[in-house]
Structure 1
Amino acid sequence: MRSLFPDICTANLIESKDFYVSLFNFSVAFEIDWYIQLQSPQDEHLQIAFVAQENSSVPLAYQQKPQGVVITIEVEDVDAIHETAKKLNMKFVQKLRDEDWGQRHFMLADPNNLLVDVVQMIEPKPEFLKQHGLV
Structure 2
Amino acid sequence: MQFTASTVSLTVGDVTRSQEFFTTHLGYVVRHAADGFVSLAHEDAVDVVLLARGTEVLPPEQREQRVSGLILAFTVASGLQEQEKRMREAGVRITMPLRQEPWGERLFQVTDPNGVIIQFVEWTAPEHG
Q: TM-score, normalised by structure 1?
A: 0.83
Maintained 8 Å contact 1:25/1:41: no
Q: 2-side partners of 1:41 and 1:5: how far apart?
A: 13
Asked if 1:50 corresponds to 2:23, the answer is no
Q: 1-side partners of 2:31 and 2:84: how far apart?
A: 25
SS in 2 for 1:82: helix
SS in 1 for 2:68: coil
SS in 2 for 1:117: strand
Long gaps (5+) in structure 2: none
SS in 2 for 1:6: strand
Residue 107 of structure 1: how far off its partner (Å): 0.9
Long gaps (5+) in structure 1: 128-135
| Equivalence for 1:133 | none
Maintained 8 Å contact 2:56/2:63: no
| Equivalence for 1:32 | 34
| Equivalence for 2:118 | 116
Residue 42 of structure 1: how far off its partner (Å): 3.7
Residue-by-residue CA offset, 1:61-95 (whole Å, 9 max, x unaligned): 21222211011011232122212211221222111
Q: 1-side partners of 2:42 and 2:76: how far apart?
A: 11
Q: 2-side partners of 1:91 and 1:73: how far apart?
A: 17
Q: TM-score, normalised by structure 2?
A: 0.87
- Greater than 2 Å deviation, 4+ residue runs: none
Q: Give the residue type in structure 1 aligned to 2:63.
A: Q
Q: 1-side partners of 2:52 and 2:102: how far apart?
A: 39
Structure (1 or 2) with the greater helix fraction: 1
